[in-house]
Amino acid sequence: MREYLLALCVTAAVTFLLTGPVRKFAIAAGAMPEIRARDVHREPTPRLGGIALFGGLCAGFLVASHLPGLRRVFEDYNEPRALLTGAALIWLLGVLDDKWGVDALAKLGGQMIAAGVMVFQGLTILWIPVPGLGTVSLNRPLGTLLTVALIVITINAVNFVDGLDGLASGMVCIAAAAFFLYAYRMWFGYGIQEAAPATLFSVVLMGMCLGFLPHNMHPARIFMGDSGSMLIGLVLAAGAISLTGQLDPDALKLFAGSERAATRGMVPVYIPLLLPLTVIAIPAADLILAIVRRTWNGQSPFAADRGHLHHRLLEIGHSHSRTVLILYFWSALFAFGTVAYSVRNASIWIVLVIVLLSAVGLVLLLLPRFTPRAPVWAQRLVPPRYRRRAAGLPGR
């Protein structure tokens, strides 16, 4: 655990220290696009924060490769090399988009190329455990198609949710923390060595997001841009694929007696099939709703608009900071609820707690509708948001 903490701290420190110089470089390079109709910020803000995030990723991997306990990940597995190659490609694509803009279809093609390069180097889904059926082996074309689709979906889900200060980095950090707990348990709790790369990926991803967040919280001094959002989305997807697709099903039989019992009893094994769609369920839902909405309106699925979940929360009366915190809450509920259920899937208390917290989340979502109004005699004693509006003025 100490080596993971060291890798996390180094990644966070390098990302944090690089973000300041990167901000000055972005301003000098003119990577400060004009305010668009769908933007919620009021002043031009530099992008290219992905440069600092990529620097943190490289620093974290460099330090981990020299630590005795983590060196084996780089010696025994090709996943770290595959991730760095794909990350470099997606990062370069994002930098070009942040500075000059890249067509949506060209960007999608670049994402597929980066995913294909990772698959070519061995980061692919080989088999999937299906409840009730056992393990289903995938042939190379099907495994490649599924892997590329999962990477592209995750990249775009994170990219779509990157619309408020600190939103994408915070939500991905929450997802990475939950996934780290899950992978760490599989690696050290059950001795499944195939979980080692995913554990490293998730802890480095946490460091990247934690190092960038202080610069990106509202009011943000710099945006991560597509160079950052696509990068962290790719790293998150790589962790899920590395663990799920590479996990040897024979190792599960050692703990459950049979493959069928292992598939049922080892719920953590097949839950990652929904990862990162479960640990970032909010961005994934936003992505699906955006595609349906735009297609229904006769627009391109990649056309930008103000219909995202965070836009809708702002419209019903939530402040910028409260909107971000609400989405943090729901992301943590989905992510850690999934991990908790994977550990104690037979416990009814886990389900009850998740249901209770979901009810709390719904109340928070509708909070502006329940904002009390003070009586006339107490108008001067309460904050302005609790005062009744003067006659003739529109209500909230």
Residue 74 domain flag: yes
What pLDDT is recorded for position 278? 64
Answer whether residue 115 is part of any domain. yes
pLDDT value for 261? 47
Separation between Cα atoms, residue 272 and residue 335, nearest integer Å: 11
Tokens of 181: 């707990």
d(CA 200, CA 205): 9
Element (H, E) at 134: strand 134-137
Q: pTM of the full predicted structure?
A: 0.82
Inside any domain, residue 37: no
pLDDT (tens digit per residue) in 340-389: 877 766 568 888 888 898 888 878 777 766 655 556 666 666 666 556 55
For residues 127 and 119, is the Cβ–Cβ distance under 8 A?
no
Q: For residue 24, what pLDDT is reported? A: 94
pLDDT reported for residue 256: 47
How high is the pLDDT of residue 248?
A: 59
* φ, ψ at 67 (rounded to 5°): -90, 135
Count of structural domains within the chain:
1
Give a yes or no: residue 350 inside a domain: no
Res 273: pLDDT? 56
Query: Any residues with CB less than 8 A from the CB of 299 and at least 6 apart, and which?
Result: 305
Q: Is 318 within the bounds of a domain? A: no
DSSP 3-state of 130 = strand
- Residue 386's pLDDT is what? 55
- How many Å apart are CA 212 and CA 10, to the nearest integer? 13
Are 31 and 99 within 8 A, CB to CB?
yes
Residue 364 Cα distances to 316, 318, 388, angstroms: 12, 10, 22
Closest alpha carbon to 330 in 298, 285, 270: 285
pLDDT at 306: 62
Evaluate whether residue 388 is within a structural domain: no
Q: How confident is the model over 196-230, as pLDDT tens digits?
A: 899 999 999 999 999 999 999 888 889 999 999 99
143 is in which domain, residue-wise? Answer: 2-31+43-306
Identify the three-state secondary structure at position 129: strand
| H helix count then E strand count, the chain | 16, 2
Q: Is residue 127 part of a domain?
A: yes
| Phi, psi for residue 127 in degrees, rounded to 5 | -155, 160
Q: Is 358 within a domain? A: no
Q: What are phi and psi of 347, to 5 degrees?
A: -90, 125
End-to-end, the C-alpha distance of the chain in Å comes to 50
128: which strand partners?
136
Report, as ranges of residue numbers, the positions in the chain whose pLDDT lies below 70: 33-42, 129-135, 245-280, 283-284, 300-308, 310-311, 317, 344-347, 368-396
Task: Give which of 118, 151, 124 is closest to 139, Cα–Cα.
Answer: 124
